[in-house]
DNA sequence: TTATCATATGAACAGATGAACATATAATAA
DNA sequence: TTATTATATGTTCATCTGTTCATATGATAA
């Protein structure tokens, strides 16, 4: 018969307490997960990687990546909200670029793991 | 009337071609997104961060993080499949730990971005 | 003004995903 | 053997997410 209370015994109390004391606040870990969630989509990764090389306008991104303008625009909003891209206007054209080097660092380190 | 063909003009052809030439293969970018998807969940991030400090058995992780044993086990499978954790058996107890330093690096760099 | 171009937004739908529940396996003890 | 403990697996379900379609906004040109 299964234990419906789900009350587990602590097997190694000292270790559990030690780890618990060193865990960052949940809020930080939540933000961290949110950040990686942004990188966890092929479309957004491709957009970010394209911007790795050069600033680009929305239309060109759509063309370059074989996506609809709408899809690109929606994803750019996500990237903007998470401060991963910035933009400048030139008439009716809007050029997007990576907002800082964190993006490059994060992608580079991920690449190391993937390319093994 | 909207353009139903979705055929965009290339606005800056030289830039588009240059970027296109430097893009990694889609397969790599797909794997990269898959990797970050694993980090993009609070439960998994909390598990990884706990393992940052010490190896832990499943039961203790559940207790430490206030999760059901089932939930932890399911997420450990995801982490295993992506080679982010390894494990050793000691009788019926299984101790999980981070598989290499990439995990620590990825988390650390993400933290820098979050803590701004 | 109107027309066109570049981008953004809102709604709706399909597919993905994480958690809970029930159950199964594997290892040890009685 | 049976019972118990530690962990894993399968299924269901509610929620989330990304895309498409239709439309709106903002900027320039005629």
User: Whose CA is closest to B69, among B42, B89, B43, B48?
Assistant: B43
Examine residue A116 and state whether it is found in any structural domain, yes or no: no
Examine residue B13 and state whether it is found in any structural domain, yes or no: no
Q: Which of A10, A40, A44 to mutate to test the interface with B (most CBs of B within 10 A)?
A: A40
Examine residue A35 and state whether it is found in any structural domain, yes or no: yes
Instruction: Report, as an integer, the average pLDDT of A43-57.
Output: 96
Q: What does the block give as tokens for B71?
A: 């939930």
Which helix H or strand E contains A98, and what residues bound it? Answer: strand A93-98
Examine residue A17 and state whether it is found in any structural domain, yes or no: no
Query: In angstroms, what CA-CA distances link A48 with A66, A78, A103, B19, B113?
Result: 15, 12, 8, 12, 16
Average pLDDT of each block of 10 consecutive residues along chain B (116 residues)? Answer: 47 91 95 97 97 94 95 97 96 94 93 88
CATH number assigned to the domain comprising residue A57: 1.10.10.10
CB-CB neighbours of A53 under 10 Å: 15
A 69-108 residues, CB < 7 A, strand C = 69-70, 72-74, 76-77, 87, 92-94
Instruction: Report, as an integer, the average pLDDT of A66-87.
Output: 97
The CA–C1' separation of A103 and D22, in angstroms, is: 34
Total domains present in chain A: 1
Examine residue A54 and state whether it is found in any structural domain, yes or no: yes
Examine residue A68 and state whether it is found in any structural domain, yes or no: yes
* Dihedral sign computed on CA atoms, order B66, B72, B75, B79: positive
Examine residue A12 and state whether it is found in any structural domain, yes or no: no
Domain holding A94, by residue range, is 22-110
């Amino acid at each position: 018969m299964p234990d419906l209370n789900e009350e587990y015994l602590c097997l190694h109390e000292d270790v559990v307490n030690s780890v618990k004391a060193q865990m960052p606040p949940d809020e930080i870990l939540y933000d961290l997960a949110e950040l990686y969630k942004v990188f966890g989509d092929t479309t957004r990764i491709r957009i970010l990687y394209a911007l790795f090389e050069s600033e680009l306008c929305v239309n060109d991104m759509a063309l370059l990546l074989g996506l609809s303008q709408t899809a690109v625009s929606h994803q750019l909003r996500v990237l903007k909200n998470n401060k991963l891209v910035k933009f400048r206007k030139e008439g009716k054209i809007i050029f997007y670029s990576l907002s800082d080097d964190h993006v490059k660092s994060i992608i580079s380190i991920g690449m190391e793991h993937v390319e093994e």
